């Protein structure tokens, strides 16, 4: 017997929790389950890839972020966690994906404007705190460069797939479709958006960039609540990540070429 489909009430203008609601405990536990399964998948993937590499080459692979080992594991994490999150959304009867409309496009443009302001604010924050060279926690030794050009190309491709494609889709399913979808009907849209934004920023483990990451989560949540279309928040997330990935990759290539 197929799961019942959650049918949204007649479309409303403006931000509404009705169009994004999922059952409270189902959404909370599904979001947590996707994160736990993703973490388990990461450790399993790292062990398998490291053992396979050592058997094939006789030495340890590089463990720097950006190199194929960690980049491949990251791709696997997002695939495994994302598959679970999508399964739970389907089981709940919620499909947050639909074709973009003109109103979605207007919300997206407003979101892009808000993100620009956030990044301007971040630049000012880093300047006045003397941390203009700060790199997000965990990416301090990021490099995509290898002695073999084909491996460098593979590294860049894996980073783009993981950071710009998979991360926005999976993280938006977990934090916005499941977690925010569960909290907003209970707490209200603004309170739910704020709480999930704080959790989203905290999971990245970077105190310096926490305001920026939390602001991204807050903007993405409001965009999702305003449209009921997860593609809008995914697009905002992807644009933000594309900027960060471009800076990291370009910096890695420039540093090595000197």
How much of the chain, in percent, has pLDDT values that exceed 70?
93
Q: Which phi and psi (to 5°) does residue 50 adopt?
A: -65, -45
The per-residue pLDDT for 53 is 81
The Cα-based distances of 217 to 130, 140, 199 in angstroms read: 25, 23, 9
Kindly report the number of other CB atoms within 10 A of residue 41's CB atom.
Answer: 19
pLDDT of residue 245: 94
Reported confidence tier of residue 258, pLDDT bands at 50, 70, 90? low
Instruction: Quote the distance between the C-alpha of residue 32 and its chain's center.
Output: 15
Q: What pLDDT sits at residue 5?
A: 46
pLDDT-wise least confident of 11-25, 43-57, 76-90, 98-112 = 11-25
Block residue for tokens 């496009």: 105
Q: What would the mean pLDDT of 111-125 be, rounded to a whole number?
A: 96
Confidence of residue 249 (pLDDT cuts 50, 70, 90): very high
- pLDDT class of 123 with cuts at 50, 70, 90: very high
pLDDT at 11: 43
- What proportion of the chain, given as a percentage, has pLDDT over 90? 68
Is residue 145 predicted with pLDDT exceeding 60? yes
Query: What is the Cα gyration radius of the chain?
Result: 19
């Amino acid at each position: 017997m197929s799961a019942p489909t959650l049918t949204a009430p007649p479309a409303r203008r403006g931000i509404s929790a009705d169009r994004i609601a999922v059952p409270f405990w189902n959404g909370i536990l599904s979001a947590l389950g996707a994160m736990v399964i993703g973490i388990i998948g990461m450790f399993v993937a790292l062990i398998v890839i490291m053992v396979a590499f050592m058997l094939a080459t006789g030495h340890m692979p590089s463990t720097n972020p950006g190199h194929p080992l960690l980049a491949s594991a990251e791709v696997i994490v997002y695939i495994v966690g994302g598959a679970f999150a999508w399964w739970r959304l389907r089981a709940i009867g919620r499909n947050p994906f639909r074709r973009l409309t003109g109103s979605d496009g207007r919300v997206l443009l407003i979101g892009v404007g808000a993100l620009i302001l956030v990044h301007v604010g971040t630049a000012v924050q880093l300047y006045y705190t003397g941390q203009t060279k700060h790199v997000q926690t965990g990416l301090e030794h990021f490099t995509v460069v290898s002695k073999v050009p084909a491996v460098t190309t593979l590294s860049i491709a894996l980073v783009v797939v993981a950071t710009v494609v998979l991360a926005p889709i999976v993280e938006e399913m977990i934090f916005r479709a499941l977690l925010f979808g569960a909290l907003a009907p209970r707490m209200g849209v603004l309170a739910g958006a704020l709480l999930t934004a704080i959790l989203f920023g905290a999971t990245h483990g970077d105190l310096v960039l926490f305001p920026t990451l939390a602001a991204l989560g807050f903007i993405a949540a409001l965009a999702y609540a305003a449209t009921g279309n997860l593609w809008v928040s995914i697009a905002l997330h992807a644009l933000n990540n594309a900027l960060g990935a471009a800076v990291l990759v370009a910096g890695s290539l420039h540093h090595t070429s000197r």
